[in-house]
């Protein structure tokens, strides 16, 4: 699976095997991004999801 297809799935499937059996782990942040360690429980593939602040909403 390429990055575009992964993003279109909203990060809900393993980019290696396509399984939905994935689990998030630790978060890390710096000035610009937050990363989340993710692991597929079916094939043991690991990757980082990368998040960037894109806005805010008052409550």
Domain boundaries, the chain: 3-51
Average pLDDT value for the chain: 95
What mean pLDDT do residues 18-26 have? 96
Q: Which residues pair with 48 in a beta bridge?
A: 37
pTM listed for this prediction: 0.82
What SS3 state is found at 6?
Answer: helix
Helix ranges, the chain (H): 3-8
Specify the pLDDT at position 1. Answer: 85
Beta-carbon contacts of 41 under 8 Å, excluding residues fewer than 6 positions away, are 19, 21, 22, 23
Specify the pLDDT at position 47. Answer: 97
């Amino acid at each position: 699976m390429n990055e575009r297809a992964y993003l279109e799935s909203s990060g809900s499937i393993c980019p290696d095997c396509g399984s939905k059996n994935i689990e998030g782990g630790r978060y890390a942040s710096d000035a610009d991004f937050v990363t989340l360690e993710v692991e597929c429980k079916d094939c043991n593939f690991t990757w980082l999801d990368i998040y960037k602040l894109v806005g805010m909403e008052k409550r």
